[in-house]
Amino acid sequence: MKFTPYGRQDISKEDIEAVIAVLKSDYLTQGPAIDSFEKAVCLEAGAGHAIACCNGTAALHLACMAADVQPGDVAVTTAVTFVASANCAKYMGAEVLFADIDPENLTMSPLACRRLLEKAKAEQKPIKVVVTVDLAGHPCDMQAFSQLKQEFGFVWIQDACHSIGATWEDSRGIRWKIGEWPGPDMTVLSFHPVKHITTGEGGMILTHDDLLASKLRKLRTHGITRESDEFLNTGEAFAEDGAPNPWYYEMQQLGYNYRITDIQAALGESQLHRLAAGIVRRREIAAAYESRLGRHPHISFPKVTEGVGHAYHLAIALVDFNAVGKSRAAVMNYLKQAGIGTQVHYIPIPLMPYYSKSANLNEVPESLAYYRKALSLPCFPQLSDGDIARICSVLEVALS
């Protein structure tokens, strides 16, 4: 029996050919495929700049560095996300607070975030950065967070690692792609194998801000620039005739080697051609689950906000395991024995031992309630209608 995981990559003949072409070229890294991939994503997303890097976590870290987060600063993110959404600010020495989720769509509640912002302001310790998360592929409330940003003046990092290709509609009826609207200061993508497109491991920061883009490019390469118009030590940088010395470069701040390779970039650009079709299929899969399993008395599904084009990185079912009378572990193990992989996205970060001593669980009741019911079902474009029917049947038996 072939095992069906909750997510997996889709590698085509064209993908393999794109990678082989780079392997046969003069550049395996720091070559033209990276620039080509960045431009392709900019075009797809409608962003001003794209800065590719080695993974989504590195992209979040770079975003916090570019936001100039300092030790003692305060950051806010959602309680329900992968730990990288919080760790990126911790790397900078910041304190991290957790906002509760909207139980309807599972993204950070703007009202819960406002409460934290107002409390921090009253304590004269304003919040430096807010990291929203488009959980499962559903964009956060973009306009609400834009209003909060204008009111409280924080740097807004949109963790869109789940939502490339998603869309949302503003109050005027204008539809925006993720990365297109200039409300967030930076938008972060991930290209892990279970995401919509993959580079093996990879990430990217989108921004419309020229200065942030320049800063991010330096930070991903040790803080080094080779742009002559940015050189500070002009005595060393330029020859007597005023031309830049051909060997010269400057490290102007502390950065990292967070670069992506041309091999990865070629794979990513090839995959990008199938992004739209993949999202269409993901939406069909999610609709099929909801159509059949939604009839079960103890299964429900998150709501999709009106005007949102969900990207469905994940297909999350909400199962009342207490009402069923079976533990989640027992159900997941039954599915596994039948060759079906499931997962839980995510354990709320305030429950993690590293964060639990400082986190206030009383501030995240919806996150904890969600966690008790969450079950991610297989969701990737290669699933057939027969696969989906079988997954539903086995889950129904597991819950009976």
* pLDDT tens per residue across span 346-358: 999 999 999 999 9
Q: What is the pLDDT of residue 180?
A: 98
84 shares a domain with 186: yes
CATH number at residue 353: 3.90.1150.10
351 shares a domain with 240: no
**Is 3 part of a structural domain of the chain?**
no
186 shares a domain with 57: yes
170 shares a domain with 38: yes
386 shares a domain with 301: yes
Per-residue pLDDT averaged across 32-57, rounded?
Answer: 98
CATH number at residue 82: 3.40.640.10
| Average pLDDT over all residues of the chain | 98
**Is 1 part of a structural domain of the chain?**
no
Tell me how far apart the alpha carbons of residues 259 and 204 are, in angstroms, rounded to a whole number: 10
194 shares a domain with 66: yes
Indicate the residue among 238, 257, 272 that finishes a domain. 272
Number of neighbouring beta carbons within 10 Å of residue 103: 15
Q: What is the pLDDT of residues 10-26, one digit of tens each?
A: 999 999 999 999 999 99
262 shares a domain with 313: no
Task: Compute the residue count for the chain.
Answer: 400
Q: What band does 1 get if pLDDT is binned at 50, 70 and 90?
A: confident
Q: What is the pLDDT of residue 328?
A: 98
308 shares a domain with 215: no
Indicate the residue among 272, 305, 322 that finishes a domain. 272
- Whole-model pTM? 0.97
Cβ contact 48:184 at 8 Å? no
**Is 332 part of a structural domain of the chain?**
yes
Tell me how far apart the alpha carbons of residues 358 and 207 are, in angstroms, rounded to a whole number: 32
Tell me how far apart the alpha carbons of residues 248 and 311 are, in angstroms, rounded to a whole number: 45
Domain region containing 374: 275-399
**Is 2 part of a structural domain of the chain?**
no
357 shares a domain with 233: no
287 shares a domain with 245: no
Cβ contact 61:39 at 8 Å? no
**Is 304 part of a structural domain of the chain?**
yes
**Is 156 part of a structural domain of the chain?**
yes
**Is 157 part of a structural domain of the chain?**
yes
**Assigned token pair, 322:** 């207490």
184 shares a domain with 291: no
Q: Domain count of the chain?
A: 2
**Is 281 part of a structural domain of the chain?**
yes
Q: What is the pLDDT of residues 280-330, one digit of tens each?
A: 999 999 999 999 999 999 999 999 999 999 999 999 999 999 999 999 999
Cβ contact 125:74 at 8 Å? yes
Identity of residue 162: H
Q: Is 33 left (phi over 0), alpha (psi -120 to 50) or beta?
A: alpha
Residues near 74 by Cβ (< 8 Å), separated by ≥ 6? Answer: 94, 95, 96, 97, 120, 125, 126, 127, 128
Per-residue pLDDT averaged across 238-242, rounded?
Answer: 93
260 shares a domain with 180: yes
Indicate the residue among 219, 250, 272 that finishes a domain. 272
